[in-house]
Amino acid sequence: MKSRYEDAKNVFVDSIDINDYIELESSMVAYKQLEHSMDKPLKMILLFGRPGTGKSILLNYIQDKLKHQKEIYYFDTPTLNEKEFFHKLFKILTKKDLPSNTVVNFSALVDYCKKLRGKRELIILLDEAQMYEADMMEKIRLLSDSRAVKFVVALHKTDDEDLIAKEHFKTRIWEVIELKNGSREEQTVYIHKKLLKKNLFEIANSIVEKDMKLIHKYTQGNYRECNKLLYTIFEICEFYDKNEPSQINYERIPKRIIEMAALKLGYINV
């Protein structure tokens, strides 16, 4: 027999599917800022934030929303093969495939982009850009100088690195958009909206304010960590529902289950 918690668990599988996108106040501010920046005569735009703040799903969302208005393309996890990257870009620019054994002439590609200036403007959304080598980023900068190709560069923010000051971004970034971890109020909305989108009203109501405080304490408002914790909470609930239903309160998620999930994920230690 299927547990009532199985669907709730699956709601929190980490995903960049735009159908899973939750419109929060801060994410919509970032969306509007990014949309506005794309309309400016900028060459490069930096989108940055800690892992789990929603950069990838925001890029997917804006690509889906604007794909009928702009030439906009999403490049997901970077290929470490420069040849593959430029083959993909060549096809976007020329609408033609190159033979797999052909190397793109970079200078000719830049010249081709310059000829497109004023005729076409392409927007390339580069996710996980911290994985690109400096030489690759220099070529991306040169392409952006053509003003026919605009890049939105998504990067991780880390404690020991000021990304804005990175040498290969200093002179080209004209706009910076930062995504941050959510407040407790925003994370509460996020959790409830995800459950309500799947019509899981009773389960949404079983997570009360005290639970949200505890969840926010463990995850610090990070959405990826929130997904992991909620998935684990409902996985534990599912186990009890199937095996020891007398040990679970269906009207309220027990605090001990939230703590068990946090312990399993290493948020707390015994």
Tell me how far apart the alpha carbons of residues 169 and 158 are, in angstroms, rounded to a whole number: 16
> What is the structure's pLDDT at 155?
87
Written as one letter, the residue type at 140 is I
User: Is the confidence at residue 168, as pLDDT, over 80?
Assistant: no
> What is the structure's pLDDT at 159?
57
The better pLDDT of the pair 266, 173 is held by 266
> What is the structure's pLDDT at 164?
46
Number of Cβ within a 10 Å radius of residue 26: 15
> What is the structure's pLDDT at 270?
63
Residues making up the chain, counted from first to last: 270
Strand order in the sheet with 149-156: 71-75, 122-126, 149-156, 44-49, 173-179
Tens-place pLDDT, residues 171-225: 556 788 999 999 999 999 999 999 999 999 999 999 999 999 999 999 999 999 9
Instruction: Give the domain 25-179 fold.
Output: Rossmann fold (3.40.50)
- In this prediction, residues 77-83 reach a mean pLDDT of 76
Tens-place pLDDT, residues 97-140: 888 788 889 999 999 999 999 899 999 999 988 888 888 888 99
The better pLDDT of the pair 238, 132 is held by 238
Average pLDDT, the chain: 89
Instruction: Report CA torsion sign: 73, 75, 80, 81.
Output: negative
Give which of 9, 14, 1, 2 is closest to 237, Cα–Cα. Answer: 9
- In this prediction, residues 29-34 reach a mean pLDDT of 93
> What is the structure's pLDDT at 115?
92
- In this prediction, residues 159-171 reach a mean pLDDT of 53
Give which of 15, 11, 6, 14 is closest to 235, Cα–Cα. Answer: 6
pTM: 0.88
Written as one letter, the residue type at 203 is I
The DSSP H or E segment spanning 177 is: strand 173-179
> What is the structure's pLDDT at 55?
93
